[in-house]
Amino acid sequence: MLGTYYYHEILRKTVISFGTLFNDIRIRHKDGDTSISEKRIPLAYGPMQKFLARLEQQADLNRAVQKIELPRMSFEMNTVSYDSTRKAGITQTFKASDGTNLKKVFMPVPYNIGFELNILCKLNDDALQIVEQILPYFQPSFNLTVDLVKSIGEKRDVPVILDNISFQDDYEGDFSTRRALIYTLNFTAKTYLFGPVADTTEGLIKKVQVDYHTNIDRETARRELRYTATPKALKDYNADATATLTFDITKTKTKIGVNDTSNLTVGGRIIIDSEIMKVKSIVDATNITVYRGYDGSTNVTHIASTVVNLLTTADDTLVEPDDDFGFNGLVEEFTDSKSFSEPLQEDVD
């Protein structure tokens, strides 16, 4: 299993999503009630110490000092830890679709991602403006919708929890020293990591063939018996609503009336409510005879105007993996074949 390459970019997406929460915070400087200026606070990924060091560096003859303006914000991912409180069974799987094919995915693994957001300001009022625009959204969490696995459209709400807030004033020295007020906010994002995504289109049984031989030499022996099986839908998937009943039928009645028999064929399967029937004969334009309780379904009473749906190959192709579908069968003895016998019923008019 290890060595199979996959990369869903979940950690990267989580970091980017966290950063977008704070990338449009602004402050205003006022003179009384009149706004003098408005500034968008720059946000960068990196540790706070990096920006403090650049604030304190001195110019020399060979290199100019790179200017940093305050206020500004920085954030970084600082912890990754497994969250046992949200774990699921390690062998559990679920099915997801990429729009065309079904995919099999193991249950995701819960991980907590720790983030540190630093707010660096020269003026305390600037810092208070920034902090006040952040805190009300976390009570104590804020949900981010993250597209964790794009190939299966797996989007989940990732709670971002505000764990704690701390404050420090790094001002030391004389009046010429740069001052930096630092607010530090620690967050935890509760995300999920997914393993490789497997295509399950081959997991749905399309056809099974078992050959029995009477000779030990299987390469040259004549095949004595073959059993083949293919999936067969036991419920209507496409809701074709081919006809409707024209009168009530009891549990035992095999001659039934429908409003239209033009789309029904002898040998075709129909389903009324949850009972499957097989068309035995078409009597006329509005009456047919059927085998009741077909494919293991139960004979029940049906009332007039109930919808009659066809069960066709179109429904068979829509059978879902892991659905409790039935099988139609065919036994071949040498070159002769016969189908399983139909339930024998007499018409009760």
Please say whether the beta carbons of 18 and 187 come within 8 A.
yes
Confidence grade of residue 67 (pLDDT, cut at 50, 70, 90):
low
Cα separation values, 113 from 30, 79, 160, 322, Å: 38, 6, 9, 35
Place of tokens 């969490």: 141
Please say whether the beta carbons of 9 and 190 come within 8 A.
no
Structure tokens at 251: 């549990």
* C-alpha 144: how far from chain center: 16
- pTM score of the predicted model: 0.52
Whether 319 shows a pLDDT value over 50: the answer reads yes
Structure tokens at 107: 């249950």
CATH of the domain at 181: 3.30.2000.40
The per-residue pLDDT for 112 is 95
Last residue of a domain, one of 151, 177, 198: 198
Q: How many CA atoms lie within 13 A of 278 on its CB side?
A: 14
Whether 234 shows a pLDDT value over 80: the answer reads yes
The dihedral sign for the CA sequence 216, 221, 223, 228: positive
Mean pLDDT: which of 15-24, 84-93, 313-322 is highest?
A: 15-24
DSSP assignment of 231-288, as one string? EE-SS-SS----EEBSS-B-SS--EEEBS--TT--TT-EEEETTEEEEEEEEEETTEE
Last residue of a domain, one of 198, 225, 247: 198
On whether both 213 and 186 belong to a single domain, the answer is no
The per-residue pLDDT for 336 is 39
On whether both 111 and 15 belong to a single domain, the answer is yes
> Total domain count for the chain?
2
Cis ω before 71 (30° cut-off from 0): yes
Identify the H or E element spanning 27.
Answer: strand 26-31
Structure tokens at 36: 């003098």
CB atoms within 10 A of CB 70: 19
Mean pLDDT of 275-295: 92
Mean pLDDT of 145-171: 85
Q: 310 lies in which domain range?
A: 208-339
Structure tokens at 195: 């393993």
Report which residue type is found at 195: G
On whether both 239 and 98 belong to a single domain, the answer is no
Last residue of a domain, one of 198, 224, 251: 198
On whether both 184 and 329 belong to a single domain, the answer is no
